[in-house]
Chains A and B, each alone.
Chain A
Amino acid sequence: QVQLQQWGAGLLKPSETLSLTCAVYGGSFSTYYWSWIRLSPGKGLEWIGEINHSGTTKYNPSLKSRVTISVDTSKNQFSLKLMSVTAADTAVYYCAREMAIGLAYFFDQWGQGTLVTVSS
C-alpha cells in the first residue's frame, strides 16, 4: 500500500519561499511521475508541476517562474519550492502520484494535504 506523507511550513509572510516535502512509502518510486497540486478558495484545484525519479520536470506555465520541484531518490522524496509568495498562494497543497495506464494519466494516490497561509 503506497502512502504519501507531506510536511512543511504552514505560515509564511509575503515574499518568503514556500517549501514542502513529500515522502513516498511503499511501491515503486522510479516508475511514476510525482506532482504537486493546490486547492485554494479563489482558484479551485491547480496543478503546479511534476517530476520523475530522473529529475525530469514539467511546470504549470502560470507558476513556472517561481517554482522548483526536486527529487531525492535515496529517500524516495520530492520537494516543492515556490518563491516570492503572496496571499494568492494561500492554499492547501497536495503531493500526488501520477498513474499511467496505457494512454491514461491520473492522480491515484494523494498526500494528506498541507494548509499554507501567507499573511503579514
Chain B
Amino acid sequence: DIVMTQSPLSLPVTPGEPASISCRSSQSLLHSNGYNYLNWYLHKPGQSPHVLIYLASNRASGVPDRFSGSGSGTNFTLKISRVEAEDVGVYYCMQTLQTYTFGQGTKLDIK
C-alpha cells in the first residue's frame, strides 16, 4: 500500500492568516501521463467529507480560490491563503494511483 503522511496533525490558525498542510507519499504519485494522483478533502464537524482539490492542483467545483494545491511526486501541499472560520475541520490527502489510501488527517482550528 502507498502510505500517506501528513503534517502537522494539528494546526491552530488566526483568521485572516495563511495555512499550509504537507502530505508525503511513500511512492511517487506521478503517473507516466504527467498527472499526480493526489486529492485533498475537508471533513467539517457534523458533515460528510467533501473534495477540495483533485490531481494535486485542480480546485473542485464550488471550492473558494483561497484554497490551492501544489506538489509532484511524493511531496504535496495544500495552502489556504487567508483562513476563515468556516475552514475548521480535518483535512485529508488521498492518493488514487493504487488502492486508495488517505493521510491521517490534519485538524485545523481557529486560535
Q: Assess A45 versus B92: contact at CB under 8 Å? Given A104-B35, A110-B49.
A: yes
Let me know if B49 and A45 touch, CB within 8 A.
yes
| B39 at interface, CB cutoff 8 A | yes
Residues of B within 8 A of A111 (CB): 48
The residue that A104 contacts in the complex, of B49, B55, B102, with Cβ under 8 A, is B55
Q: How far is the CA of A46 from the CA of B3 in the complex (A)?
A: 12
Residues of A within 8 A of B54 (CB): 101, 104-106
Instruction: Say how far A80's CB is from chain B's closest CB, in angstroms.
Output: 16
Chain B residues with a Cβ closer than 8 Å to the other chain, count: 26
Residues of A within 8 A of B105 (CB): 44-45
Residues of A within 8 A of B101 (CB): 47
| A94 at interface, CB cutoff 8 A | yes
Q: Which residue of B lies closest to A35 (CB)?
A: B100
| A21 at interface, CB cutoff 8 A | no
Let me know if B58 and A112 touch, CB within 8 A.
no
Residue pairs across A and B with Cβ atoms less than 8 A apart, 7 shown, are A44-B105, A45-B102, A47-B101, A62-B1, A110-B50, A111-B48, A112-B48
Given contacts A45-B102, A47-B99, A104-B58, 15 further A-B contacts (CB under 8 A): A45-B49, A45-B92, A46-B102, A61-B99, A103-B33, A103-B55, A104-B54, A104-B96, A105-B54, A106-B54, A106-B96, A107-B41, A107-B49, A108-B51, A110-B50
